[in-house]
């Protein structure tokens, strides 16, 4: 494939990805307002652009497929086909196919040829039902004959062939000859015929040296190329016939495809579309492929690889795509600068006593430097920031499909789409939020009848609110469903032995049980949730991002789940603690309170539990856990940390204050080290480890369980 061609394709794929997004949004809107002429028109235009682009860039199969979808929409546009909910479903399915095409072209997946063909056939069928038959065009044959089916056995490998017949200008077609070919091809597969009569230059302007594309046959068959060629046997000598085997990747030889695109596009003048110039056709040398080089299937791996490499270089044209690791490196370097700056400051301080004048001058420079550095730091952080809205996009579709299946009616509103968050976080919260929405759909929102009986609107609402608060991004998921039945949660938890049968729980504790592994209060298992792997997974995923999840509920009125996540993964607000000569950082977001370890606070009969306001909290002596030599401080301090409902006390010598730490991940040499999530550098240049509170709590829990067992 030529470089030019590949470039074009990459630019097209980028454009297509935007178009596909628009299409998805429009389709979902269309369902609400099926009579919107504007939406249908826009859908049609977008599909048309995709089809054209696909053809121009040699994505033959995509062009062919989109054509079918576009035709259907055209019927809708012309009022010959009603836009039913079923049709929207088909179109959404088509959208998935389009995404599949894109992924395959980007080397990110393999196209499911069966799904595409299935979808295409369904769409064609839908058109057949509601629409009018294909318009009769004033040529020798209808421009597009209805699909002729030879039943295909499912499960066998299907080949798609595009057979193009290039006739000489003086060729006078004999209908019976064409019928014989059509019969031969129909015998071996599913056939679609595209007429290109209109593409012939007017009589008198035809170049006798050249062949003109006259008919294309699109054939889906189990047969291989030899059989297909045999079916065309009578014509192989008389005309130039190209048999192109379309592989699962939408690969076709570029020049070949260009013709097809142009030709395909121009079939519209036959179908009543405005005529478009088709320059490729009047410069035959450029448009006609080499006769010898009959294209066959292209090797998959090589092509995919080449495309991928190309994408990386090409996409820079539209917007600069930067490898995240490069940004990470940039942020790390800025972090290093901040650390060096702190050291410079301490030099400046010590210079004060020796050379006041010099020290003053240096202070000025350092101040300027510091300002620039802050700005640089902010900028470096913002590069990684993306609007959170993108992470919510799949939710709309999820809700729509769910409602389709269950008969519930739900409206999703999103406030604060533009709220920015670190890209990595945006990528990683998509999964947890799918879970949260599924939960709200399944357990929260009632069926329309039930809602009406309660005096609510039959349509439920799930609202997402995203906003910044104190260095965190807060995302609330509010539904106006039935709320959490706390009694049932407790009952289930008892049945499943998640809690002790006799233990009295506060309302908050009971609600927290939602996050316990293996708890599901759904009466019946459904496809989307209720397998008991919802909320505990959500909580774990959010905590992996150093975030937290809270739940509030009002029976009968709905549930609000609040997720708080730090804006960035590379900086942590920490509490600096000292044990002997060593210092450690505890992420501040996990710290609940700090108390002194007095004899009275240690629970009786146990040396491993604190008794804080009559609550037993396990504690770990970091000094012994980390094997630090020397005597503990006369009065040790306990930092009580928690993630959700789990709490543990960490015993240290002293509390040294707050510290904003740039997180350096530990190298692979230390990947087996469990208690730390990273390290940072203090102003004095020393390296300090950051505690992994989640791991420490697990560690404490293990200890707790062993103790209870004994």
Q: Which stretch binds another protein (CB under 8 A): 87-95, 125-133, 601-609, 685-693?
A: 685-693
Residues 646-665 that bind another protein (CB under 8 A): 664
Q: Does 370 bind another protein (CB under 8 A)?
A: no
Choice from 135, 630, 685, 702 touching another protein (CB under 8 A): 685
Q: How many Å apart are CA 67 and CA 116, to the nearest integer?
A: 13
Q: Which stretch binds another protein (CB under 8 A): 176-184, 418-426, 611-619, 669-677?
A: 669-677
Of 65 and 676, nearer to another protein (C-beta) is: 676
267-273 contacts: CB < 8 A, separation 24 or more? 267/143, 267/144, 267/194, 267/195, 267/196, 267/198, 269/198, 270/137, 270/139, 270/143, 270/195, 270/198, 271/74, 271/135, 271/137, 271/143, 272/135
Q: How far is CA 188 from CA 114, 154, 181, in A?
A: 18, 15, 11
Q: Which of 310, 260, 301, 300 is nearest to 281 (CA)?
A: 260
Q: Which run of H or E residues covers position 648?
A: strand 646-652
Smallest gap from Cβ 339 to another protein, in A, equals: 4
Residues 608-637 that bind another protein (CB under 8 A): 625-628
Smallest gap from Cβ 627 to another protein, in A, equals: 6
* Torsion angle of C-alpha atoms 252, 254, 258, 261, degrees rounded to 10: 30
Q: Does 673 bind another protein (CB under 8 A)?
A: yes
Query: Which parts of 440-579 fold into alpha helices (H)?
Result: 448-453, 486-495, 507-512, 535-544
Choice from 49, 168, 340, 526 touching another protein (CB under 8 A): 340
Query: What x/- string results for residues 523 through 562 when contact with another protein is judged by CB under 8 A?
Result: ----------------------------------------
Smallest gap from Cβ 681 to another protein, in A, equals: 5
Q: Which stretch binds another protein (CB under 8 A): 85-93, 353-361, 610-618, 682-690?
A: 682-690
Q: Does 243 bind another protein (CB under 8 A)?
A: no
Q: Which stretch binds another protein (CB under 8 A): 389-397, 417-425, 483-491, 672-680?
A: 672-680
Q: Does 680 bind another protein (CB under 8 A)?
A: yes
Q: Does 335 bind another protein (CB under 8 A)?
A: yes
Of 328 and 450, nearer to another protein (C-beta) is: 328
Q: Does 668 bind another protein (CB under 8 A)?
A: yes
Number of Cβ within 10 Å of residue 492's Cβ equals 20
Q: Which stretch binds another protein (CB under 8 A): 108-116, 393-401, 546-554, 676-684?
A: 676-684
Choice from 157, 501, 672, 710 touching another protein (CB under 8 A): 672
Choice from 330, 337, 398, 414 touching another protein (CB under 8 A): 337
126-134 contacts: CB < 8 A, separation 24 or more? 126/72, 126/81, 126/86, 126/87, 126/90, 127/71, 127/72, 127/75, 127/81, 130/75, 130/80, 130/81, 130/82, 130/84, 130/87, 131/72, 131/75, 131/80, 131/81, 132/75, 132/80
Smallest gap from Cβ 580 to another protein, in A, equals: 11
Q: How many Å apart are CA 222 and CA 157, to the nearest integer?
A: 6
Residues 274-333 that bind another protein (CB under 8 A): 332
Q: Does 670 bind another protein (CB under 8 A)?
A: yes
Of 276 and 329, nearer to another protein (C-beta) is: 329
Q: Does 669 bind another protein (CB under 8 A)?
A: yes
Q: Does 346 bind another protein (CB under 8 A)?
A: no
* Torsion angle of C-alpha atoms 163, 144, 83, 391, degrees rounded to 10: 20
Q: Which of 318, 547, 551 is nearest to 424 (CA)?
A: 547
> Cα 577 to the chain's mean position, in Å?
40
Smallest gap from Cβ 342 to another protein, in A, equals: 10
Q: Does 101 bind another protein (CB under 8 A)?
A: no
Choice from 49, 562, 601, 675 touching another protein (CB under 8 A): 675
Q: How many Å apart are CA 420 and CA 417, to the nearest integer?
A: 8
Choice from 36, 49, 339, 654 touching another protein (CB under 8 A): 339
Choice from 43, 535, 569, 681 touching another protein (CB under 8 A): 681
Smallest gap from Cβ 372 to another protein, in A, equals: 17
Of 563 and 689, nearer to another protein (C-beta) is: 689
Choice from 336, 527, 615, 705 touching another protein (CB under 8 A): 336
Of 335 and 574, nearer to another protein (C-beta) is: 335
Q: How many Å apart are CA 422 and CA 425, to the nearest integer?
A: 5
Say if residues 37 and 73 touch (Cβ distance below 8 Å).
no
Q: Does 692 bind another protein (CB under 8 A)?
A: no
> What is the number of alpha carbons within 13 Å of residue 631 lying toward its C-beta?
3
Q: Does 110 bind another protein (CB under 8 A)?
A: no
Say if residues 678 and 665 touch (Cβ distance below 8 Å).
yes
Say if residues 422 and 471 touch (Cβ distance below 8 Å).
no
Query: What x/- string results for residues 569 through 608 when contact with another protein is judged by CB under 8 A?
Result: -------------x--------------------------
Of 77 and 703, nearer to another protein (C-beta) is: 703
Q: Which tokens hold the place of 552?
A: 């509030």
Say if residues 528 and 441 touch (Cβ distance below 8 Å).
yes
Choice from 686, 705, 706, 707 touching another protein (CB under 8 A): 686
Give the 3-state secondary structure of residue 568: coil
Of 457 and 674, nearer to another protein (C-beta) is: 674
Of 23 and 696, nearer to another protein (C-beta) is: 696
Of 234 and 685, nearer to another protein (C-beta) is: 685
Q: What secondary structure letter does DSSP report for 218?
A: E
Choice from 513, 564, 676, 693 touching another protein (CB under 8 A): 676
Q: For another protein, how many residues bind (rule: CB under 8 A)?
A: 30
Residue 664: partners with Cβ closer than 8 Å, 6 or more residues away: 332, 335, 678, 679, 680, 681
Q: How far is CA 126 from CA 51, 80, 89, in A?
A: 20, 12, 11
Smallest gap from Cβ 157 to another protein, in A, equals: 37
Choice from 679, 693, 694, 697 touching another protein (CB under 8 A): 679
Q: Which residue has tokens 């607000």?
A: 573
Q: How many Å apart are CA 703 and CA 695, to the nearest integer?
A: 12
Q: Does 373 bind another protein (CB under 8 A)?
A: no
Number of Cβ within 10 Å of residue 225's Cβ equals 16
Smallest gap from Cβ 691 to another protein, in A, equals: 11
Q: Which residue has tokens 């059989």?
A: 227
Q: Which of 710, 586, 703 is nearest to 651 (CA)?
A: 586
3-state DSSP percent of the chain in helix, strand and coil, to 5? 45, 20, 30
Residues that bind another protein (CB under 8 A): 332, 335-337, 339-340, 582, 625-628, 664, 666-670, 672-676, 679-681, 685-689
């Amino acid at each position: 494939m030529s470089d030019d061609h590949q470039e074009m394709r990459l630019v097209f794929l980028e454009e297509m990805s935007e178009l596909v997004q628009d299409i998805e949004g429009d389709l979902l809107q269309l369902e609400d307002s099926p009579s919107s002429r504007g939406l249908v028109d826009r859908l049609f235009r977008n599909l048309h652009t995709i089809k054209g682009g696909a053809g121009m860039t040699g994505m033959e199969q995509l062009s062919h497929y989109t054509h079918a979808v576009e035709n259907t929409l055209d019927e809708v546009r012309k009022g010959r086909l009603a836009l039913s909910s079923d049709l929207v479903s088909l179109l959404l399915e088509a959208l998935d196919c389009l995404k599949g095409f894109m992924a395959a072209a980007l080397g990110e997946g393999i196209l499911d040829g069966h799904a595409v063909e299935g979808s295409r056939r369904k769409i064609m069928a839908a058109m057949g039902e509601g629409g009018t038959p294909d318009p009769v065009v004033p040529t020798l044959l209808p421009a597009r004959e209805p699909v002729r089916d030879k039943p295909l056995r499912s499960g066998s490998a299907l080949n798609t062939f595009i057979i193009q017949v290039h006739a000489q200008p003086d060729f006078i077609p004999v209908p019976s000859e064409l019928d014989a070919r059509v019969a031969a091809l129909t015998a071996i597969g599913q056939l679609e015929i595209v007429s290109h009569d209109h593409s012939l230059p007017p009589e008198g302007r035809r170049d006798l040296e050249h062949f003109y594309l006259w008919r294309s046959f699109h054939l889906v068959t189990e047969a291989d190329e030899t059989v297909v060629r045999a079916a065309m046997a009578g014509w192989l000598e008389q005309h130039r016939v190209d048999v192109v085997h379309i592989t699962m990747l939408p690969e076709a030889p570029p020049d070949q495809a260009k013709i097809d695109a142009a030709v395909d596009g121009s079939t519209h003048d036959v179908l009543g579309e405005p005529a478009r110039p088709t320059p490729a056709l009047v410069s035959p040398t450029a448009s006609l492929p080499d006769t010898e080089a009959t294209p066959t299937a292209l090797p998959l791996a090589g092509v995919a690889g080449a495309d991928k490499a190309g994408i990386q270089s090409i996409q820079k044209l539209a917007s600069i795509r930067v490898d995240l690791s490069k940004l990470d490196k940039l942020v790390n370097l800025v972090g290093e600068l901040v650390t060096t700056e702190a050291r410079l400051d301490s030099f400046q301080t010590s210079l004060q006593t020796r050379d006041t004048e010099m020290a003053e001058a240096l202070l000025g420079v350092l101040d300027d430097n510091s300002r620039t550095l802050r700005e640089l730091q902010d900028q470096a952080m913002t590069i990684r920031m993306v609007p959170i809205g993108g992470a919510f996009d799949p939710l709309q579709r999820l809700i729509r499909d769910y409602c389709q299946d269950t008969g519930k009616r739900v409206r999703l509103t999103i406030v604060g789409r533009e709220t920015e968050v670190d890209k990595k976080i945006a990528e990683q919260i998509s999964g947890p939020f799918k879970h949260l929405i599924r939960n709200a759909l399944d357990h929260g929102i009632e069926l329309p009848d039930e809602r009406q009986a309660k005096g609510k609107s039959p349509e439920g609402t799930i609202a997402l609110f995203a906003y910044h608060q104190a260095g965190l991004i807060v995302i609330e998921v509010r539904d106006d469903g039935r709320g959490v039945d706390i009694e049932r949660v407790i009952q289930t938890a008892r049945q499943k032995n998640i809690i002790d049968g006799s233990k009295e729980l506060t309302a908050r504790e009971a609600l927290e049980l939602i996050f316990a592994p293996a708890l599901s209060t759904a009466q019946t298992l459904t496809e989307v949730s209720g397998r008991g792997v919802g909320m505990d997974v959500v909580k774990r995923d959010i905590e992996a991002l150093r975030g937290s999840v809270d739940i509030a509920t009002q029976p009968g009125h709905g549930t609000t789940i609040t997720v708080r996540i730090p804006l960035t993964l590379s900086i942590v607000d920490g509490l600096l603690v000292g044990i002997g000569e060593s210092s450690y950082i505890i992420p501040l977001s996990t710290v609940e309170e700090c108390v002194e370890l007095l004899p009275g606070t240690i629970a009786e009969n146990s040396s491993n539990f604190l008794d804080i306001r009559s609550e037993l909290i396990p504690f770990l002596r970091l000094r012994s856990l980390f094997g630090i030599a020397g005597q503990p401080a006369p009065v040790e301090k306990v930092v009580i940390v928690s993630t959700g409902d789990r709490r543990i006390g960490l015993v240290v010598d002293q509390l040294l204050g707050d510290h904003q730490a740039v997180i350096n991940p530990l190298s692979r040499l230390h990947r087996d080290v469990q208690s730390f999530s990273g390290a940072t550098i203090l102003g004095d240049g020393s390296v300090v480890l950051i505690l992994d509170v989640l791991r420490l709590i697990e560690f404490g829990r293990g200890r707790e369980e062993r103790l209870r067992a004994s």
